[in-house]
């Protein structure tokens, strides 16, 4: 069986234990971006059986006929999922995917900073001049700017996107750089005081550098989740179902969540986690905080093209 | 007949290799550039010249222009640094092989690792800034990283050996008695180098410039890492089309226009080089 996943998304023994349990061999590959995964599987004969797409990729991949419609009676462990992941907005009846890990985009900051950032707007302030970074990802930068404007992270109309672009350009003099995960050691070392960051990555950094903290911006923020999907092309469906069910087992899911400091969508697994993780406000924000979050959605091609055009303008401003 | 055919036969393997690994992918890119963007990446029909139309919009021309500017500046700096060094190595009485090996030593580690090493040196809490602060020369760290200067530094550092080696090759063949003659006839050492050594090493200078300018023009790792993603060069633009923007036809059109441009530069420099030889 062939599993294609993000890097660092299972525990050390997860694959080996499954192989022992089912007397099989698993080919396990990793990808660095959802686009990379999609480009591989879009042909329909990539050789992979199971992939882990983000929520905004589920709709498009289903429309492209890439996903297998799940027979839920073959996945008894589905009931272990948290209630809100039993009917997520990208697949209300879980016909095509099983939510795996979830996270959100917020601000990782140093407690030594002059002010603690409570809102995206704080990242446009003199307090952080040249000591702040944004993610090198157009969806995230637009997301923050759109939330500042009081709009949806999934906005598609030209005027709104233009206003978001202008905000991003205004921010450039305050920015040190557009950095994704590379910012980790720079914020730990104190070069950078505040960084737009994914909550899950932030938690890993905070574990190693306790002077850091994380905030969920007041204006609202983006949510995302990665999901387990079986591909339509899968030639090992039997094992693929076993694998999905295995990942849903409380003990297996808890071991993974603990080892990678991730937020599992599995309620039974979360209950098994040590206190430090189980009630961690960065990984599992309260309902009150979550109410400000908004899931990323797939964008129509025209909006995608417009955003890319504006992204180029932001970057070369 | 056999005398003509045999060398041709020898060429066959490399011709096939070039055809399969260079021309065939290039053809694929050319076809992609004429197609329409698929909704989720990839390409679909119908064929169109639209992608080429977009390449010539002001924003992309501006990025192209800035890439040329950064690449040209890096090339000139490489030349200024490389010429004295190549001259010194070519004239060194001993240890020439050792010196040349030292020039090539950086190639033993990956470019990515070396770029990260520069980032560790240049950042606010890096070696340079902390040393200057300890010495009391500065009080707040100077912004050395994540700007155009850092990009140029990274490019000059990365491509300097490509300038030194062709310069060395021509300077090494330069007859020392020509320089002696110039000195005997009353030239100062500086003007002997400027008016004799430099003109005679033109082919090496042009070859070095082409070897540095062209890869600098297409660089994307250095602007991304040393520039902190704040300055876009044409390489980053192309890369983004194939990843985040999922606009393969536009990415293909951009890279073909860019390839044509580099080709023109290479041919131009080659012509001048041939004339001077």
Check CB contact of A313 with chain B, cutoff 8 Å.
yes
One domain, residues A309 and A258: no
One domain, residues A89 and A173: no
Omega before B46 cis (within 30°)? yes
Prediction ipTM score: 0.84
One domain, residues A297 and A173: yes
Q: What is the pLDDT along chain A (317 residues), one digit of tens a residue?
A: 999 999 989 999 999 999 999 999 999 999 988 888 988 898 888 999 999 999 999 999 999 999 999 999 999 999 999 999 999 999 999 999 999 999 999 999 999 988 899 999 999 999 898 999 999 999 999 999 999 999 999 999 999 999 999 999 999 999 999 998 889 989 999 999 999 999 999 999 999 999 999 999 999 999 999 999 999 999 999 999 999 999 999 999 999 999 999 999 999 999 999 999 999 999 999 999 999 999 999 998 889 889 999 999 999 88
Work out how many domains chain A is built from and give that number: 2
Q: What is the C-alpha to C-alpha distance for residues A93 and A77, in angstroms, rounded to an integer?
A: 15
The beta-carbon neighbor of A316 closest among B37, B59, B145 is B59
One domain, residues A153 and A299: yes
Q: What is the C-alpha to C-alpha distance for residues B216 and B152, in angstroms, rounded to an integer?
A: 9
The enclosing domain of A38 has a CATH number of 3.40.190.10
One domain, residues A28 and A120: no
The encoded tokens of residue B63 equal 């990025």
By C-alpha distance, the chain A residue nearest B145 is A176
One domain, residues A165 and A211: yes
Residues of B in contact with A39 (CB under 8 A): 41-42
CA quadruple B86, B92, B98, B102: dihedral positive or negative?
negative
Q: Inspect the interface and report whether the beta carbons of A190 and B40 lie closer than 8 Å.
A: no
Cβ-proximal residues to B59 (8 Å cutoff; 6+ apart), any chain:
A309, A312, A313, A316
One domain, residues A193 and A133: yes
Q: What is the C-alpha to C-alpha distance for residues A210 and A203, in angstroms, rounded to an integer?
A: 10
Instruction: Choose among B14, B38, B18, B51: nearest CA to B252.
Output: B51
One domain, residues A95 and A145: no
Instruction: Choose among B248, B60, B82, B229: nearest CA to B145.
Output: B229
List domains and CATH numbers for chain B.
53-276 (1.10.3720.10)
- The pLDDT confidence band at residue B15, using thresholds 50, 70 and 90, is confident
Burial profile B232-259: b = 16 or more Cβ within 10 angstroms, e = fewer: bbbbbbbbbbbbbbbbbbbbbbbbbbbe
Q: Are B187 and B119 in contact (CB under 8 A)?
A: no
Residues of B in contact with A175 (CB under 8 A): 230
The encoded tokens of residue A10 equal 């299972």
One domain, residues A207 and A266: no
One domain, residues A109 and A31: no
Residue ranges of chain B whose CB lies within 8 Å of a chain A CB: 37, 39-42, 59-60, 62-63, 66, 123-125, 143, 145-146, 224-225, 227-232, 236-237, 240-241, 243-247
Domain that holds residue A120: 103-222+290-315
One domain, residues A21 and A143: no
Nearest-Cα distance to chain B for A216, in Å, is: 25
One domain, residues A157 and A78: no
- pLDDT tens-digit map of B89-112: 998 878 889 999 999 998 899 999
Q: What is the C-alpha to C-alpha distance for residues B221 and B150, in angstroms, rounded to an integer?
A: 12
- pLDDT tens-digit map of B211-258: 999 899 989 899 999 999 888 899 999 988 888 888 889 999 999 998
By C-alpha distance, the chain A residue nearest B140 is A191
């Amino acid at each position: 069986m062939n599993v294609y996943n993000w890097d660092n998304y299972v525990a050390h023994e997860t694959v080996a234990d499954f192989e022992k349990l089912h007397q099989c061999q698993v080919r396990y590959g990793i990808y660095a971006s959802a686009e990379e995964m999609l480009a591989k599987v879009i042909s329909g004969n990539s050789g992979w059986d199971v992939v882990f797409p983000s929520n905004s990729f589920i709709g498009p991949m289903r429309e492209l006929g890439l996903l297998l419609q799940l027979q839920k009676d073959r996945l008894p462990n589905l009931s272990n999922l948290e209630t809100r992941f039993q009917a997520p907005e990208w697949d209300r009846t879980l016909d095509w995917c099983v939510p795996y890990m979830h996270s959100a985009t917020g601000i990782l900051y140093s407690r030594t900073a002059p002010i603690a950032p409570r809102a995206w707007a704080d990242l446009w302030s003199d307090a952080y001049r040249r000591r702040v970074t944004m993610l090198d990802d157009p969806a995230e930068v637009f997301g923050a700017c759109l939330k500042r404007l009081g709009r949806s992270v999934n906005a598609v109309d030209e005027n709104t996107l233009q206003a978001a672009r202008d905000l991003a350009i205004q921010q450039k003099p305050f920015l040190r750089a557009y950095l994704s995960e590379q910012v980790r050691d720079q914020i730990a070392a104190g070069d950078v005081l505040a960084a737009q960051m994914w909550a899950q990555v932030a938690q890993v950094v905070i574990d190693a550098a306790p002077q850091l903290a994380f905030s969920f911006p007041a204006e609202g923020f983006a949510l995302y989740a990665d999901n387990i999907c079986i591909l339509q092309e899968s030639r090992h469906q039997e094992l693929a179902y076993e694998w999905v069910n295995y990942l849903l087992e409380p003990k297996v899911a808890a071991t993974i969540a603990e080892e990678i400091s991730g937020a599992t969508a599995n309620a039974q697994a979360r209950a098994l986690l040590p206190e430090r993780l189980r009630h961690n406000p960065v990984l599992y924000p309260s309902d009150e905080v979550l109410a400000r979050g908004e899931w990323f959605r797939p964008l129509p091609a025209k909006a995608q093209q417009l955003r890319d055009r504006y992204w180029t303008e932001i970057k070369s401003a | 007949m056999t005398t003509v055919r045999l060398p041709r036969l020898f060429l066959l393997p490399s011709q096939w290799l070039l055809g399969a690994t260079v021309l065939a992918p290039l053809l694929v890119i050319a076809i992609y550039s004429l197609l329409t963007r698929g909704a989720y990446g990839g390409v679909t029909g119908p064929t169109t010249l639209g992608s080429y139309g977009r390449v010539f919009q002001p924003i992309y021309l501006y990025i192209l222009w800035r890439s040329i500017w950064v690449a040209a500046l890096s090339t000139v700096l490489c030349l200024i640094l490389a010429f004295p060094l190549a001259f010194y190595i070519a004239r060194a009485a001993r240890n020439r092989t050792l010196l040349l090996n030292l020039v090539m030593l950086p190639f033993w580690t990956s470019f990515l690792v070396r770029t990260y090493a520069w980032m560790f040196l240049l950042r606010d809490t890096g070696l340079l800034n902390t040393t200057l602060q300890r010495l009391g020369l500065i009080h707040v760290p100077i912004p050395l990283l994540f700007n155009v200067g850092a990009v140029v530094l990274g490019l000059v550092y990365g491509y300097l050996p490509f300038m030194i080696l062709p310069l060395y090759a021509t300077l090494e063949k330069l007859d020392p008695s020509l320089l002696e003659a110039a000195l005997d006839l009353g030239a100062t050492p500086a003007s002997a180098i400027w008016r004799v050594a430099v003109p005679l090493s033109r082919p090496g200078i042009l070859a070095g410039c082409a070897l540095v300018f062209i890869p600098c023009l297409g660089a994307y790792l250095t602007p991304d890492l040393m520039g902190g993603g704040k300055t876009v060069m044409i390489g980053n633009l192309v890369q983004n089309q194939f990843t985040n923007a999922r606009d393969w036809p536009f990415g293909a059109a951009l890279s073909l226009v860019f390839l044509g441009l580099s080709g023109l530069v290479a041919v131009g420099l080659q012509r001048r080089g041939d004339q001077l030889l």
